[in-house]
Structure 1
């Protein structure tokens, strides 16, 4: 069978490695920009997005480390990343509920400017990683990270417009909830795929022994 050795280590894809390095540098840079900007603007959605950027940077670094390993270990790392994404969703959800009790609207102009910058960065990362979206769970995870970030940034921009127009904290909180749901859903998808891949490789390994 053509895929009978899928559990064996594969030769690292140089194009995928380059794409990961680009995404890693972009995400780490935006983590610092949004962390500072979110604190300055008192924006939950920017703060949440900064944590997402940091999580993605760590995930890309881990993906680079396991490129030459077997599918089993790539799937294991993807499983950890999926759990991390799901945990991120829960943390954002809790932070959003806390911000709701405070009721302080964020500074809309800062939100909008940083949101546009983050969107440009994430579109670049998503375009770079688009070709690898149908790969194994590890490749899927890095693509989903960039896709979710781009969607989140569009939402942040709309939230900034909403805050500017209404003076209310609600648009910021709604976007944070959307980002939390994206993290939970993407995490679930990656976890599910990674578990299947781990089981398949363990089964193939047992058959070869």
Structure 2
């Protein structure tokens, strides 16, 4: 029994160390990304930055959950999913606003930040890859980061289009696509939190 408790404690400590770095990185990138999005008048950049904030929230919830029981971890994942869904609604609302009131996105700023953001998120995704089949709170963190990587590629592509052609609607199209994709990820996390799976049961017995 003491061995099992020691093993569970070691797992919790490892998960905690893994989540602290992404939490700090995403919180920092949210501030930088939001400033860049406002300056560049880019829905895609602002959506990406808000996604970073959501991920930082998810990592914070996951950090709180590492030493808790299965029920708390399920609730943590559900809150992550709910936050993502709210983010999705906000992104779509901003796209609609910019469509009607206009915007003049800066392609160079979009490309520059998306490359920086992509490097950060790929690093975090590699750190969390070992938990993609782990407990529900860690799977939620991995899914959030996967969504970020997809969003980064979208912003990069739209930034290149805006830079090359000046067509501002590329930014709006990508912003809308990110909003829809984030909603899909929110539903996936919610479903997994309701059906935690065998790996969660195995951890909860330790």
TM-score w.r.t. length of structure 1: 0.86
The whole-number CA distance in structure 1 between the counterparts of 2:167 and 2:101 is 12
Aligned-residue offset at 1:69? 0.8
Q: Is the Cα–Cα contact under 8 Å of residues 72 and 197 in structure 1 kept in the other structure? A: no
Give the structure 1 partner of residue 81 of structure 2.
82
Q: 1:104, CA displacement in angstroms?
A: 2.1
Cα deviation, 1:5-33, whole Å, max 9, x if unaligned, reads xxxxx534332222101110110110011
Match of 2:28 in 1: 29
1:42-191 equivalences under 5 Å are 42-191=41-190
- Describe the superposition over 1:126-175 as per-residue Cα deviations: whole angstroms up to 9, x where unpaired: 01101101112211110011111111111111110111122121111111
- Equivalence for 1:13: 12
Q: Distance in 2 between matches of 1:13 and 1:196?
A: 21
CA distance in structure 1 between the partners assigned to 2:75 and 2:43 by the alignment: 31
Q: Secondary structure at the match of 1:13?
A: helix
Q: 8 Å contact 2:57–2:80 — kept in the other structure?
A: no
Asked whether the 8 Å contact 1:16–1:129 carries over to 2, the reply is no
- Gaps in structure 2 of 5+ consecutive residues: 1-7, 201-206
**Aligned-pair Cα RMSD in Å:** 1.6
Count of aligned residue pairs for this structure pair: 190
Residue in 2 aligned with 1:41? 40
Distance 2:85 2:98 in 1: 20
Q: Which runs of 5+ in 1 are unaligned?
A: 1-9, 202-209
C-alpha contact 1:105 1:168 (8 A) present in aligned 2: no
